[in-house]
Amino acid sequence: MSTLACHRTPSAARRDGLTVALAGNPNVGKSTIFNRLTGLEVLTTNYPGATVEVNAAVVRLDGRVLTLVDLPGIYCLTCSSGDQCAAREALLENPPDVVVAILDATNLARNLFLVLQLIDLGFRVVVALNLADAAEHAGIRIDAQHLQDLLGVPVIPTVATRGHGLREVLAEALRASGRPPVIRHRYGPRLEGEVARLAGQLDGQMPLPARGAALLVLEGAADAGILAGAEPASKSAWTERAAAAADRVAAAYGEPASMAVARERHALADRIAAKVMVSPGEFRGRAAWRVAVRPATGIPLLLVVLAAIFAGLFWGGGALAALVDGAWATYASPLIRVLLLTVFGEGVVVRTLLWGLDAGLNAVLSVGIPYVLTFYAVLGVLEDTGYLNAATVLLDRVMRGLGLSGRAAIPLVAGAGCNVPAIIGLRTLRTERERLIAGTLITLVPCSARTAVIFGAVAYYLGWSWALALYGIVTAVVLGAGWGLNRLIPGGTPDLLVEVFPFRIPAFRTVVRKTWVRVRDFIFVAVPIVLAGSVVLGALYETGLIRLATRPLAPIVEGWLGLPAVAGLTLVFAVLRKELALQLLVALAIVEFGRGAENLLSFMSKDQLFTYALVNTIYIPCIATIAVLSRTLGRQRAAVISLGTVALAVLLGGVTMRLLALR
């Protein structure tokens, strides 16, 4: 019948080698540690909900194969938002051999809550006492050895941003994997009595040790899949016993069992923290966020930040673009031309290939990279200072008008980088309604690829005020869509509940690395698509088939939008990647009118360029976005959203063209 397997580790689906999960509260440096250990591209950020899918990487250490799993930041293992569910599922349904619990040394007691819960559940735990430098700076001194003795698990001080202590953590994890898990702590006798009684009634099919399972059930997580292996009959009998035990705990403590367990765990965490704290210090850095969250200072600051992003893109991105363009025209282009002519000789083949290898690559380098690079560098700084986190508080009021909580501001801002991770990030939101509204709005947020088109076409040829006007229209569209959806979709807006982190000075290395990883992804994914797209369009052009291909589009593109039919074709191609639109247009202009700063203007009027960029920004997100949207919200909704944006873009484009013509 019952087995009191107190020291049994959760049964794991066996894999090759060992699995080590990194767990911790948000913003404790988990992803930084993961990146350091793996050299892999999980983006580290200073806001909650950044690691939204459970990332894993395989590394070798001392001849052994380790699978490292980077879990989303969590405060506890009892579900609330989607990312906490993801962390709990990863831990309970696919239990790792060792959990590395990463703690913020500047906030020890609260961080110990999760560590105690992990130990309760029977995991082999190794503690990384991170931000050791920040703690030391604040005068906080913690006796790591004493903490290790009290918890019964290894404790290693670490400074993730500099890589200190990380190899020791892994080495300890390896050692720990060979030992049985240890539970040294106990809560109050009344609670432990009920836990032991309930644990004794469990049958041996549980994936968790009995004490851990009993505690988790008392915490209100009876649906956590911990009864997955049980027979239906014993399941229902046990559920009844669990309810009775919860009632007894509630009666004894005068509050629900879940609250009683949390209170006991906090009390124990407090006692442990008090014992190991040699000097409590005084942690500063709490005041800076006030400037960002108070409307009187926060709104001007937000405007300054937005203006800085815009200026950075306009001047920084613009200068980079001009530099790359010049270098390409002087050095690369003639070389490629000569090489191709030598190999293939004059003809349709060379002219088609030149579309891809000369004009296409040139467009990637001068349109895509300068603006994408600049945007991600700025975004990285904003994330790592903690500014974005503070901005969610300021923006909560505005977001509520769109049926969203301030929490949704983060995926929306991330959408300005790339819609795909932003939509995956919807998991951090609490309700389906909020995910649906935010998902729709994200597709309307100009990602860095669309920003490249706006800056490369509108700001570059028409001036910054036109780009600003375009952003104004898009902002109005996003706000209008959110306002409408909030009224259309039944249900309420969830409450905001987020931690406000102290501001930090971002580590230069982390920001550079993060920017590089994001830009590298962009290059590796974008270049083949742009090359292929350019060659196909080139082949259509050089063989004259382009007239046939553009014909079906003509009524809408020429008739309603007032754009050259060929431009419409580039918009269709841009479903692959949004910046492809301008890149193909540039390539087309180079072929038709030769290279030069004014080439696009000899091809299209200013009004046409503006309309073109507006339509490109609003219509259909790229194919990758549609795919992730249907995975997250369902195919039907993804289709409705995609088609809705096409209709909206065509409508707005035609109206804009007519309004511009009135001037």
CB 448 within 8 A of CB 477: no
Stretch that binds another protein, among 152-160, 161-169, 489-497, 522-530 (CB under 8 A): 489-497
Selected binder of another protein within 20, 159, 224, 293 (CB under 8 A): 293
User: Hey, what's the torsion of the CAs at 136, 184, 80, 415, to 10 degrees?
Assistant: 40
Per the listing, tokens 């509204």 go with 437
167 binds another protein per the rule CB under 8 A: no
Selected binder of another protein within 3, 110, 146, 167 (CB under 8 A): 110
- Closest to another protein by CB, 286 or 635: 286
403 binds another protein per the rule CB under 8 A: no
Total binding residues for another protein by CB under 8 A? Answer: 44
For residue 69, what are its two tokens? 């799993």
Stretch that binds another protein, among 3-11, 390-398, 448-456, 614-622 (CB under 8 A): 390-398
**Which x/- pattern over 210-249 shows residues binding another protein (rule: CB under 8 A)?**
---------xx-----------------------------
Stretch that binds another protein, among 109-117, 189-197, 224-232, 350-358 (CB under 8 A): 109-117
Stretch that binds another protein, among 106-114, 140-148, 409-417, 435-443 (CB under 8 A): 106-114
275 binds another protein per the rule CB under 8 A: no
Selected binder of another protein within 43, 50, 52, 113 (CB under 8 A): 113
How buried is residue 588: exposed, middle or buried, by Cβ count under 10 Å (0-12/13-18/19+)?
A: buried
- Closest to another protein by CB, 252 or 500: 500
Distance CA 250, CA 648 (A): 55
294 binds another protein per the rule CB under 8 A: yes
Stretch that binds another protein, among 322-330, 335-343, 491-499, 512-520 (CB under 8 A): 491-499
* Shortest spacing between CB 409 and another protein, in angstroms: 12
For residue 178, what are its two tokens? 């060979």
For residue 284, what are its two tokens? 């500063």
First to last CA, the chain: 85
32: phi > 0 → left, psi -120 to 50 → alpha, else beta; which? alpha
Selected binder of another protein within 394, 410, 444, 459 (CB under 8 A): 394
DSSP label of 428:
G
Stretch that binds another protein, among 39-47, 288-296, 315-323, 344-352 (CB under 8 A): 288-296
Residues in the chain: 663
* Shortest spacing between CB 113 and another protein, in angstroms: 6
256 binds another protein per the rule CB under 8 A: yes
Per the listing, tokens 């010049």 go with 326
Stretch that binds another protein, among 104-112, 183-191, 635-643, 653-661 (CB under 8 A): 104-112
* Shortest spacing between CB 403 and another protein, in angstroms: 13
For residue 224, what are its two tokens? 């956590």
CB 138 within 8 A of CB 112: no
Selected binder of another protein within 341, 497, 512, 655 (CB under 8 A): 497
CB 428 within 8 A of CB 416: no
Q: Are strands 98-104 and 125-130 parallel, antiparallel or unpaired?
A: parallel
Q: Are strands 141-142 and 98-104 parallel, antiparallel or unpaired?
A: unpaired
- Closest to another protein by CB, 273 or 470: 273
Short-list 93, 411, 108, CA closest to 273: 108
Residue type, 601: L
DSSP label of 159:
B
Site for another protein in 32-71 (CB under 8 A): none
CA triple 213-216-220, angle to 5 deg: 135
* Shortest spacing between CB 404 and another protein, in angstroms: 11
* Shortest spacing between CB 116 and another protein, in angstroms: 11
Residues 233-245, buried b or exposed e (16+ Cβ, 10 A)?
eeeeebeebbeeb
Distance CA 40, CA 433 (A): 34
* Shortest spacing between CB 296 and another protein, in angstroms: 9
266 binds another protein per the rule CB under 8 A: yes
Q: Are strands 64-70 and 55-61 parallel, antiparallel or unpaired?
A: antiparallel
255 binds another protein per the rule CB under 8 A: yes
CB 209 within 8 A of CB 92: no
Stretch that binds another protein, among 241-249, 286-294, 558-566, 622-630 (CB under 8 A): 286-294
- Closest to another protein by CB, 184 or 397: 397
428 binds another protein per the rule CB under 8 A: no
4 binds another protein per the rule CB under 8 A: no
For residue 169, what are its two tokens? 């953590």
Distance CA 112, CA 519 (A): 37
Distance CA 306, CA 6 (A): 55
286 binds another protein per the rule CB under 8 A: yes
Selected binder of another protein within 259, 288, 332, 350 (CB under 8 A): 259
* Shortest spacing between CB 478 and another protein, in angstroms: 20
For residue 235, what are its two tokens? 């399941």
* Shortest spacing between CB 384 and another protein, in angstroms: 19
Selected binder of another protein within 262, 372, 511, 530 (CB under 8 A): 262
Kindly report the three-state secondary structure assignment for every residue of 165-206.
Answer: CHHHHHHHHHHHHCCCCCCCCCCCHHHHHHHHHHHHCCECCC
The binding site for another protein (CB under 8 A) comprises: 75-76, 78-81, 84, 107, 109-110, 113-114, 219-220, 255-256, 258-259, 262-263, 266, 270, 286, 289-290, 293-295, 392-394, 396-397, 400, 405-406, 430, 494-500
